[in-house]
Amino acid sequence: MTERRLRVVLAEDSVVLRDGMVELLGARGCEVVATAGTGAELLDAVGAHRPDVAVVDIRMPPTHTDEGIRAAVGIRADHPGVGILVFSQHIETVWAARLLADGAAGVGYLLKERVARTDEFVEALHRVADGGTALDPEVVAGLMRGGRRGPVDSLTPREREVLELMAQGRSNRAVAASLAVSERAVEKHVAAVFAKFGLRATDTDNRRVKAVLAFLAEGGA
C-alpha cells in the first residue's frame, strides 16, 4: 500500500541542514509546506499550514537552549492533531520528559544522526503523523536511568526489553524480529506488561501508549 504524502513543517536554524532535509523529504514523497529558523516562526507556520507533522530542532535562536522544545510543547497544546518529531545532537532527557508529559501518542524524539538513515527517519515521520511513538533507543535509555521504583521493577528482563522496544515505536512483529523470538511470545510478554501495569482492556484506551507512558514516567521523574 502506498504511503500517504505527508505535509511537513521543518524547523531547523542551520540553512545547510534545513535545505538538505527539504530535498531528502521531497525525494521520499513528503511535502515540506514551510520551514522555520526560530521557535516563533515554527508556531506561525504550524498555525498557518496545519501540517501532518512538525520536525523540530530542540536548540534554536536566539539562545540556542530550549526554544524548539518550548514551541513543540505549545504545538501539542494548541494543535493536538499535529505530530511532533524533535531531533537533537544530544540526549536532552529533561526536555524529552517535558514533551512527553501530556502523552506519548504522536511524539517522536530522534538523535540527528538518525536523519542520515533515510528509511528510519521517514518511517518515524509516518508513525508519528499517524499518532504513534518514535523514540531513539538512546533517549529511552537516558530516560530510564535513575528512575524511581514502581511497576517497571516488577518486570522480567525480557518483559523490560519488550517494553523498551515498544517505547521506540516497534510493532509486535518488529519486536519479535529484534529479539529473535516468535510473535506469539512477544504477545505473551506484552500481555504480562499490561497486567503488571494494571492496564485493562477497554474500547477507548490505548494500553500500548499508556504502558510506554508509565515506563517513561518512572525513568523521567
**Hey, which residues does 111 pair with through a beta bridge?**
88
Strand order in the sheet with 31-36: 31-36, 7-11, 53-57, 83-88, 107-111, 133-135
- All CATH 3.40.50.2300 domain ranges in the chain, comma separated: 7-136
Instruction: List, for residues 166-186, the tens digit of each pLDDT value.
Output: 877 788 898 999 999 999 999
- Residue extent(s) of CATH 1.10.10.10 domains in the chain: 146-220
pLDDT given for residue 31 in this prediction? 95
Q: What interhelical angle do 207-220 and 157-167 show, nearest 10?
A: 100
CATH fold of the domain at 7-136 = Rossmann fold (3.40.50)
What integer pLDDT is reported at residue 9 of this predicted model?
97
Q: What is the DSSP letter of 2?
A: P
pTM for the complete prediction? 0.70
Q: Are 72 and 27 in contact (CB under 8 A)?
A: no
What gap in Å lies between CA 147 and CA 216, rounded to an integer? 9
Rounded Cα distance between 62 and 40, Å, is 11
Output the CATH code of domain 146-220. 1.10.10.10
* 7-59 pLDDT per residue, tens: 999 999 888 889 999 999 999 999 999 999 999 999 999 999 999 999 999 88
How far is the C-alpha of 45 from the C-alpha of 58, rounded, in Å? 17
